[in-house]
Amino acid sequence: MITPIETPWEPDIWRSELQQAIRTSAQLLQYVKVQSDFASDSEPFAVRVPRGFADRMVPGDANDPLLRQVLATTHEQIDTPGFVRDPLEENSTDNLIHPAPGLLHKYHGRALLITTGACAINCRYCFRRHFPYAEHQQSRHEKALVAIQGDDSIEEIILSGGDPLLLDDRALERLVVSLEKITHLQRLRIHTRIPVVLPTRITQALVELLAASRLDVVVVIHSNHAQELDAATARSLAALHNAGIHLLNQAVLLKEVNDNLPAQIALAKALFSQRVLPYYLHLPDRVAGTAHFFVNKQEALTLHRSMQANLPGYLVAKLVREQAGERSKTIVSI
Ligand SMILES: *Cc1c(COP(=O)(O)O)cnc(C)c1O
Ligand code: SF4
């Protein structure tokens, strides 16, 4: 019998933390006491950083790996050949891939449901910076639910976004209850960076909501660097884990953030100590405005081989990339 760890957070702290998030590069630089010649603010993909995340940056360090992920810079305005707005062609209107608004069904057995366009943090390398959320965002998912109901090859629904845990508990519960009624569904997966960037969102009520589901729940978090994981994330992740929720991590391989062996080893060990198994290490997509984060395939493969030589097999994430038209993520190989 596992005793659930009560998460220590008051129910609505996360909302005020979200409201107080840092919203400009200037504010962020001032907060972490760094000067930069490259900082800029770009709309519509604005700077957004919860203070709790900024508190994990090293003050005065212009090369801090957390700062680099979220500070908007002039590098984003550089046009690089081959870097395009929609490298995965997910904005296409192909009905097989898009059976309903907000529903992406690319791979066998699992479909991805876009819940909200918003995130608790804006990561500069994200493909989402160009995604036409207005066309996909559905506060109600009626058409998607009908499409899922009508396709019994779908066993697993992945809630994605944006960040699905930005929905409030009522909206989330409504959605989970609707999904539970679809008898061929077995698993519910949630792709979220929130346990890392806004751990106070993992309230007891949220944990209980997920734990009560008849579906097997998998939460795939997104952390790129061990420095992102602290006592607060440990608390929230332990609460999810103790409620029987499987925890996996996907990371993105990012130049001058985590493209070195010590950073990858430290990340794998920190994740495991917080009950999370590494799942994917993504080669970045060629998204316009993110070329300064790009790591090439050869460097990635070399790094991945060193990870295998230095970590137990279960702590080595699969090195993958997404290729338009493929039936799964592609394992990166020579
Ligand atoms: C990545 C992804 C999935 C999940 O793939 P897994 O290999 O099962 O993690 C599902 N649908 C879409 C559209 C995806 O991009
Ligand atoms: S949290 Fe995820 S979806 Fe949101 S900006 Fe960051 S990488 Fe993109």
Q: Is the pTM of this model over 0.85?
A: yes
Q: Which pLDDT tens digit goes with each residue over 2-27?
A: 565 677 799 999 999 999 999 999 99
pLDDT in tens, 78-113: 889 889 887 776 666 667 788 999 999 999 999 999
Give the range of the structural domain holding residue 311, as residue numbers without chain letter.
13-331
CATH number for the domain that contains residue 264: 3.20.20.70
Whether 123 lines ligand 2, by a CB cut-off of 6 Å, is yes
Distance 111 CA to ligand 1 centre (A): 8
CA of 47 to the centre of ligand 2 (A): 12
What's residue 93's pLDDT?
62
Report whether 319 contacts 332 (CB < 8 A): yes
Q: Is 279 in the pocket of ligand 1 (CB under 6 A)?
A: no
| Residue 140: predicted pLDDT | 75
Q: For ligand 2, say whether the CB of 198 is within 6 Å of any of its atoms.
A: no
* Distance, CA of 150 to CA of 143 (rounded, Å): 11
50 within a domain of the structure (yes/no) = yes
Those residues with Cβ within 8 angstroms of residue 320's Cβ, 6 or more apart along the chain or in another chain: 280, 281, 282, 283, 329, 330, 331, 332
Q: What is the mean pLDDT of the chain?
A: 93
| CA distance between the termini of the chain | 47
Q: Is residue 202 part of a domain?
A: yes
CB atoms within 10 A of CB 39: 17
Would 8 be classed as within a structural domain?
Answer: no
Give dist(CA 283, CA 148) in Å, integer.
30
* Nearest ligand, CA 197: 2
Query: In the chain, pLDDT over 70 holds for what percent of residues?
Result: 94
187 in contact with ligand 1, CB cutoff 6 A: no
In a domain, 159, yes or no: yes
Residue range 209-232, pLDDT digits in tens:
999 999 999 999 999 999 999 999
Does residue 130 lie within any of the structural domains?
Answer: yes
Q: Is the CB of 110 under 6 A from ligand 1?
A: yes
Distance CA 33, CA 144 (A): 46
Phi-psi map region of 109: left, alpha, beta (phi>0 left; psi -120 to 50 alpha)? left
**Helix, strand or coil for residue 218?**
strand
Instruction: Please give the distance, rounded to the nearest whole angstrom, from the Cα atom of residue 98 to the centre of ligand 2.
Output: 21
- pLDDT of 280 reads 98
Query: Is residue 305 a part of any domain in this protein?
Result: yes
- Higher-confidence residue: 323 or 123? 123
Residue 7 domain-assigned (yes or no): no
94's tokens: 């192909």
CB 275 within 8 A of CB 241: yes
Q: What percent of the chain has pLDDT over 90?
A: 80
Separation of 309 CA from ligand 2 center, angstroms?
30
Ligand nearest to the CA of 116: 2
What's the total number of domains in the chain? 1
Q: Within a domain: residue 40?
A: yes
Whose CA is closest to atom 8 on ligand 2? 126
**Mind listing the pLDDT tens digit for each residue in 181-199?**
999 999 999 999 999 999 9
Residue of 119, 124, 201 best suited for mutating to test ligand 2, as the one with most atoms within 8 Å of CB: 119
